[in-house]
Amino acid sequence: MILRIAVIVSFLVFPVSVRADLPPASVERKYERRAVFIAEYDQNEDMVLQKEEITAMIEGKFKAADKDEDGIISAAELEGIVQRFSADYGEIYGTVLFKQLLKLRHRLGNADRNDDGQLTWSEYSTYFNKRYKRFDSNNDSQITVQEFETDVEKD
């Protein structure tokens, strides 16, 4: 009994330290999701997104969203982006899917520079090229897994 009390008191007085060099589990999961993202668009499979791969990804996503191929992502097509993201990545994001969907809606809204509820190629490509360029911390026109693990995304 005395030993059990001593152990409990030692935990209260000398709490188990959390290793400062390890990120919390939620951050680790975010890093894992970002690695999956890189792998999905990394055409040469070197786990680095080169400028050409980023450009191809942005163009591909725009074309996939522009269902009627009129060069504009309409409000309905914007909603389709959100629905597809939810269907495609729901399992990967798990309990934080709702938060990620809010971020996606926010990003799409920020890309709409003239607030007309739709995105032109110019609006879309300008916004997403700038967004991914922020991850390129050494300005070498590519994004490594380590660079993608930074939290420079704020919009």
Q: For 32-60, write each residue's pLDDT tens digit.
A: 888 888 889 999 999 999 999 999 999 99
Residue 13: pLDDT band (50, 70, 90) is very low
- Domain 25-148 annotated CATH 1.10.238: yes
C-beta of residue 92 within 8 angstroms of C-beta of residue 37: no
| Rounded percentage of the chain residues whose pLDDT exceeds 70 | 79
Q: Which two tokens stand for residue 36?
A: 């999956």
Q: What is the pTM of this model?
A: 0.75
pLDDT of residue 70: 97
Expressed in angstroms, the distance from the first to the final Cα of the chain is 55
Mean pLDDT of all residues in 51-76? 96
Q: Please give the radius of gyration of the chain, using alpha carbons only, rounded to the nearest integer.
A: 21
Residue 12: pLDDT band (50, 70, 90) is very low
Name the β-bridge partners of 142: 50
